[in-house]
Amino acid sequence: GAVVSQHPSRVICKSGTSVKIECRSLDFQATTMFWYRQFPKKSLMLMATSNEGSKATYEQGVEKDKFLINHASLTLSTLTVTSAHPEDSSFYICSASVSLSNEQFFGPGTRLTVL
C-alpha cells in the first residue's frame, strides 16, 4: 500500500524558534497533501490543503503566516511552524492523495513540544 512518511517523528524546541516538518509520499506521486493537527484527546483538525506548485488553501482560523506550507514536488510537502510558542505544541499529521483515488494516506505524525 501507499506509504507516507513524516520527519521528524518528534521535536522539542524553545519558544520563538521555527520548526520544519516534512511529509513525503514514498511510493507514489501525491497531487494533493493535507495538514492536520491534533490536541490531546481531541479529533484531527484540518489546517490546510496544498497542491504541488500552488499556494496552500488554509482553513478558517489557521494563520498562513504562522504555518507556512510549501509543496515543492509531487512527493514532498513541508510545514514550518514559525516563531513557535507553547500553545503550538501538538501532534501534526499529514496526508496525501492522488487524483482519481478516493483514499487519503496518512503519515505517522510529528509530535511538537514547544518549551
Partner 1 sequence: DAKTTQPPSMDCAEGRAANLPCNHSTISGNEYVYWYRQIHSQGPQYIIHGLKNNETNEMASLIITEDRKSSTLILPHATLRDTAVYYCIAARATGKLIFGQGTTLQVKP
- Contact positions toward partner 1, by CB under 8 A? 4, 6, 31-32, 34, 36, 43-46, 49, 91, 93, 95, 97, 99-109, 111
CB of 99 to partner 1, least distance (A): 6
**What single-letter DSSP state applies at residue 86?**
G
| Count of positions (residues) in the chain | 115
Nearer to partner 1, 16 or 108 (CB): 108
CB of 83 to partner 1, least distance (A): 26
Judged by DSSP in three states, 32 sits in strand
Nearer to partner 1, 109 or 114 (CB): 109
Closest to 35 in 3D by CA, of 57, 66, 9, 61: 57
Amino acid at 58: Y
Peptide bond into 8 cis (omega under 30): yes
CB of 97 to partner 1, least distance (A): 6
